[in-house]
């Protein structure tokens, strides 16, 4: 796993574990002083990561469906306002629309970061 540009590895322990940072760039940062995270927190982080991975897979599947239907122009800055309006519309009826709202949020985020 990359952590802040450094390679990190989770080392489990009895009730505790820790991230070991490999190849720290800063010589004053000793890899033996890696952050210690308790098992419950690490399990929480792993569940969050899995939820994000599962949700991202749904987002990708929905975007693929839309592309196959011929939808184009998601990354055209001229469509920014239209995408914002679509997201607001989907948010008002959000139950069952979470993936579409997330995809529109990703599109808007992507457009803003490319300006």
3-class state of residue 65 by DSSP: helix
Question: Can you give the residue range of the structural domain that contains 99?
Answer: 72-115
Tokens read off for 106: 């990703």
Mean pLDDT of the chain: 81
Residue 35 lies in a domain: yes
For residues 104 and 95, give the distance between their C-alpha atoms in angstroms, rounded to a whole number.
15
Residue 25 lies in a domain: yes
Q: Where are the beta strands (DSSP E) in 35-96?
A: 36-38
Supply the pLDDT for residue 108: 94
- Is residue 108 packed enough to be buried (19+ CB in 10 Å), middle (13-18) or exposed (0-12)? middle
Tell me how far the alpha carbon of residue 19 is from its chain's centroid.
20
Supply the pLDDT for residue 31: 46
Supply the pLDDT for residue 24: 52
Are 84 and 112 contained in the same domain? yes
Are 48 and 78 contained in the same domain? no
* Number of domains composing the chain: 2
Residue 58, CA distances (Å) to 27, 65, 103 in order: 42, 11, 10
Q: What pLDDT band is residue 38 in, cutting at 50, 70 and 90?
A: confident
For residues 57 and 112, give the distance between their C-alpha atoms in angstroms, rounded to a whole number.
23
- What pTM was computed for the model? 0.65
For residue 30, is pLDDT > 50? no
Q: What is the pLDDT of residues 39-86, one digit of tens each?
A: 899 999 999 999 999 999 999 999 999 999 999 999 999 999 999 999
Residue with structure tokens 């308790």? Answer: 38
Are 81 and 109 contained in the same domain? yes
Supply the pLDDT for residue 62: 96
Are 78 and 43 contained in the same domain? no
């Amino acid at each position: 796993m990359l952590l802040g540009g450094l390679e990190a590895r989770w080392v489990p322990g009895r009730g505790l574990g820790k991230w070991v940072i490999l190849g720290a760039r800063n010589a004053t940062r000793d890899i033996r002083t890696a952050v210690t995270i308790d098992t419950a927190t690490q399990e929480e982080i792993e569940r969050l990561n899995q939820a994000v991975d599962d949700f991202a897979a749904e987002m990708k599947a929905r975007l693929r469906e839309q592309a196959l239907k011929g939808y184009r122009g998601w990354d055209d800055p001229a469509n920014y306002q239209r995408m914002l309006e679509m997201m607001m519309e989907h948010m008002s009826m959000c139950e069952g629309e979470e993936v579409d709202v997330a995809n529109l949020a990703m599109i808007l985020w992507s457009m803003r970061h490319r300006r």
